[in-house]
Chains A and B, each alone.
Chain A
Amino acid sequence: QVQLQESGPGLVKPSETLSLTCTVSGRSITSNYWTWHRQTPGKGLEWIGNIHYSGRTNYNPSLKSRVTIFIDTSKTRFSLKLSSVTAADTAVYYCVRGDGWHLYWGQGTLVTVSS
């Protein structure tokens, strides 16, 4: 059984960088793609981007200039950085396995952007 767990600050100040980590257990991270989504009441579910274990990344064009996803295979985790955040980046952030449909999701973590 694959388990994913997001971790990181729940509060980020405007203009700063949001940083989250997803720890994977139950399966090697050296297979598959690994993806970040977020969810807001207004825009719904939004694909942020993904990373292959080889390090290859794909980002949503709407966020591409601000997003970095990287992977640490030795520690079985992958991470998200989103720079220059605004209130519009307030959302529940999910890490998931796969690059298409997703069977395995983290529980989600709420990140609020506020001063």
Chain B
Amino acid sequence: EIVLTQSPGTLSLSPGERATLSCRASQSVNSNSLAWYVQKVGQAPRLLIYDASTRATGIPDRFSGSGSGTDFTLTISGLEPEDFAVYYCQQYGGSPVTFGLGTKVEI
């Protein structure tokens, strides 16, 4: 099973600042099959990025994904108030599908 380690656990920033979130895999993720989600309290996760760097429909371009192999990054270029939430990475290149434990972005 591929274990995904997200860091930091919590990121304290202000609106307008740049956020850089890391997701490291215990082994190489096939075909860069990695997605990023954002989750707010009481809601289901919402897809931001898939295939490591492709933005999902309707996602603003301040969100970008990069990386390959075992190291992946989600960058939010300028935090908006609605971006303060928990972010998860997910790999779907190997079975079973696995998720990281999340990074909380707080004010």
The chain A residues found within 8 Å of chain B, CB to CB, are 44-47, 58, 60-62, 94, 99-103, 105-108
Contact = CB atoms under 8 A, between A and B. Distances in A.
Contacts of A46: 99
Interface of A is mostly: loop
B12 interface: no
Nearest to A99: B92
Given A47-B99, A105-B44, A108-B44, 16 more contacts: A44-B100, A44-B101, A44-B102, A45-B88, A45-B90, A58-B95, A100-B50, A101-B47, A101-B51, A101-B90, A101-B92, A102-B45, A103-B47, A103-B57, A106-B44, A107-B43
B96 A100 contact: no
A61 B57 CA distance: 32
The 7 closest A-B pairs by CB, nearest first: A101-B50, A100-B92, A45-B99, A105-B44, A47-B97, A101-B35, A60-B96
Nearest to B95: A58
Contacts, number: 45
B56 A103 contact: yes
Contacts of B46: 105
Interface of B: 33, 35, 43-47, 50-51, 56-57, 88, 90, 92, 95-102
Given A44-B88, A44-B99, A60-B96, A94 B35 contact: no
A47 B33 contact: no
Which of B46, B51, B97, B100 has its CB near the most chain A CB atoms (within 10 A)? B97
Nearest to B6: A44
Nearest to A100: B92
Contacts of B56: 101, 103
Name the residue among B50, B56, B95, B96 with the largest chain A CB count within 10 angstroms. B96
B92 A105 contact: no
27 contacts: A44-B101, A45-B88, A45-B90, A46-B99, A47-B98, A58-B95, A61-B96, A62-B96, A94-B44, A99-B92, A100-B50, A100-B97, A101-B47, A101-B50, A101-B51, A101-B56, A101-B92, A102-B35, A102-B47, A103-B47, A103-B56, A105-B45, A105-B46, A106-B44, A107-B43, A107-B44, A108-B44
